[in-house]
């Protein structure tokens, strides 16, 4: 109890200090594109903003949701959004290699336990070896689910048909109505259907060993905006880190997450602990870069691995904490 009070008091002190330091400065607006509301770590920015944790950093956020990492990348490339959350890492590498104005300013999710593939319980598909010739969903090109499904196809060496189906809710509808054979979901979305016996788990991203240790989703920024207003992005990442700490370390944060995800508190706590542990959503963590480069080449996101100089230009995490 004492540690929780300390965390709350510390965040309040940080907010007060930042507010005093920035007195008189007008709030600067950032448009934030988030890939797939309710999937994985997509809660952080909205919950933190509603809790007032970006206000001390003099930021006004305009948050909107896309159907996946590919759409998020396009929003950032066009500067319809200055920041993109939960962008597929491979997709970000691919568009950067083609000269798109995209830079990575944080990790979003590392590991593969959170994304899974399922079928209706009445399906004849019992496991990955039954997938030959079947349609297997992912959100859209360049997303982490796109990379995940390609990694699983390689791992199981089964000739199924990767099929873009949009966001998780649209995919659930398409799967349950037979428009696609196998659907994708990202915890906490889709877990209730598994527990109710409406769907059956077929595979997870973590089944592919190399993919499981990689950073699969990242936070991206428009490169032109990042160069012109670097301090704004420093402040955004401060607010993002504050939001994560609040959700993971206070009862109020857990309650906000439960309300966002529309889950009972006990289920919300389990979702954070099992599917979204703090180490997996650490924005300062970028893991498995060599494996990511190999996958990017194998899956034809890029023609050749990026050089060290390229990676230093692509990955620019403000105030990175090692």
* CATH number of residue 63's parent domain: 3.40.190.10
Q: Are residues 159 and 236 in the same domain?
A: no
Residue of 135, 144, 180, 181 lying closest to 39 (CA atoms): 144
Query: Residues, the chain, total?
Result: 322
Q: Find where tokens 């336990």 sit.
A: 113
pLDDT of residue 24: 54
Q: Reply yes or no on whether the pLDDT at 202 is more than 50.
A: yes
Q: Is the pLDDT of residue 294 over 70?
A: yes
Q: Do 78 and 126 fall into the same domain? A: no
Q: Which of 177, 193, 212 is the last residue of a domain?
A: 212
- Residue 322 lies inside a defined structural domain of this protein: no
Any idea which of 164-173, 208-217, 284-293 has the lowest mean pLDDT? 208-217
3-state percent breakdown (helix, strand, coil) of the chain, nearest 5: 50, 20, 30
Confidence bin at 188 (pLDDT 50/70/90) = confident
Do residues 6 and 102 share a domain? yes
Peptide bond into 157 cis (omega under 30): no
pLDDT of res. 162 = 97
| Co-location of 268 and 124 in the same domain | no
- pLDDT beyond 50 at 19: no
Q: pLDDT above 90 covers what percent of the chain? A: 72
pLDDT at 22 over 70: no
Range of the domain at 256: 2-111+214-314
Cβ atoms of 301 and 90 within 8 Å: the answer is yes
Q: Could you tell me which residue, 270 or 164, shows the higher pLDDT?
A: 164
98 and 24 together in one domain:
yes
Looking at the structure, tell me whether residues 174 and 225 fall in a common domain. Answer: no
Q: How many domains does the chain have?
A: 2
283 pLDDT more than 70: yes
Mean pLDDT value of segment 48-67: 97
Same domain, 261 and 128: no
Residue 38: pLDDT band by 50, 70, 90 thresholds? confident
Q: Is the pLDDT of residue 25 over 80?
A: no
Does a structural domain hold residue 265? Answer: yes
Mean pLDDT score of the chain, rounded to an integer?
91
In angstroms, the CA 230 to CA 234 distance is 6
Choosing from 181, 212, 243, the residue where a domain stops is 212
Q: pLDDT tens-digit profile of 233-271?
A: 999 999 999 999 999 999 999 999 999 999 889 888 988
Q: Which of 12-16, 111-115, 208-212 has the lowest mean pLDDT?
A: 12-16
| pLDDT the model gives residue 9 | 47
Please give the average per-residue pLDDT across 48-56, as a whole number.
98
What mean pLDDT is predicted for residues 158-164?
A: 97
pLDDT band at 6 (very low <50, low <70, confident <90, very high): very low
Contact call for residues 267 and 21 (beta carbons, < 8 A): no
Answer yes or no: is 320 within a domain: no
**Average of pLDDT values for 20-39?**
80
The last residue of one of the domains, among 166, 184, 212, is: 212
Say yes or no: 64 and 152 in one domain: no
Q: What does the pLDDT read at residue 213?
A: 85
Q: Same domain, yes or no, for 274 and 290? A: yes
Identify whether residues 90 and 135 lie together within a single domain.
no
Average pLDDT value for residue range 113-141 = 95
Q: Are 72 and 43 in contact (CB under 8 A)?
A: no
pLDDT of residue 53 exceeding 80: yes
Q: Among 12-26, 138-152, 294-308, which stretch is predicted with the lowest mean pLDDT?
A: 12-26
Confidence band (pLDDT; 50, 70, 90) for 133?
very high
Query: Is residue 171 included in any domain, yes or no?
Result: yes
What's the whole-number mean pLDDT along residues 213-241?
97
Could you tell me if 133 and 22 lie in one domain? no
Predicted local distance difference test score (pLDDT) of residue 10: 53
Task: Kindly report the number of other CB atoms within 10 A of residue 43's CB atom.
Answer: 25
Residue with tokens 């809790």: 51
Q: Are residues 106 and 224 in the same domain?
A: yes
């Amino acid at each position: 109890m004492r540690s929780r009070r300390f965390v709350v008091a510390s965040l309040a002190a940080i907010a007060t200090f930042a507010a005093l330091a920035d007195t008189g400065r007008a709030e600067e607006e950032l448009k934030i594109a988030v890939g797939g509301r309710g999937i994985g770590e997509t809660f952080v920015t909205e919950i933190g903003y509603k809790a007032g944790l970006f206000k001390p950093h003099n930021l006004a956020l305009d948050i909107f949701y896309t159907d996946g990492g590919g759409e998020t990348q396009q929003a950032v490339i066009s500067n319809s959004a200055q920041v993109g959350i939960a962008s597929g890492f491979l997709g970000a590498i691919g568009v950067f290699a083609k000269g798109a104005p995209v830079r990575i300013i944080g990790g979003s999710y590392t590991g593969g336990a959170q994304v899974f593939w399922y079928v209706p319980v009445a399906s004849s598909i019992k496991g990955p070896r039954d997938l030959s010739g079947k349609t297997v969903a992912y959100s859209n090109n360049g997303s982490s689910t796109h990379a995940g499904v390609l990694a699983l196809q390689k791992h199981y060496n089964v000739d199924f048909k990767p099929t873009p189906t949009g966001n998780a809710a649209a995919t659930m509808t398409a799967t349950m109505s037979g428009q696609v054979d196998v659907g994708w979901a990202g915890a906490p979305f889709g877990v209730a259907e598994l527990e109710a016996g409406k769907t059956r788990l077929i595979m997870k991203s973590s089944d592919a060993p190399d993919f499981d240790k990689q950073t699969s989703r990242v936070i991206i920024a428009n490169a032109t905006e990042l160069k012109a207003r670097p301090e704004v992005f420093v402040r955004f990442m401060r607010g993002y880190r504050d939001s994560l700490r609040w959700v993971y370390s206070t009862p109020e944060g857990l309650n906000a997450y439960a309300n966002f995800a529309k889950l009972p508190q006990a289920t919300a706590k389990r979702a954070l602990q099992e599917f979204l542990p703090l180490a997996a959503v650490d924005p300062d963590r970028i893991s498995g870069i060599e494996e990511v480069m190999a996958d990017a080449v194998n899956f034809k996101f890029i023609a050749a691995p990026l050089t060290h100089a390229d990676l230093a230009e692509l990955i620019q995490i403000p105030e990175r904490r090692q």
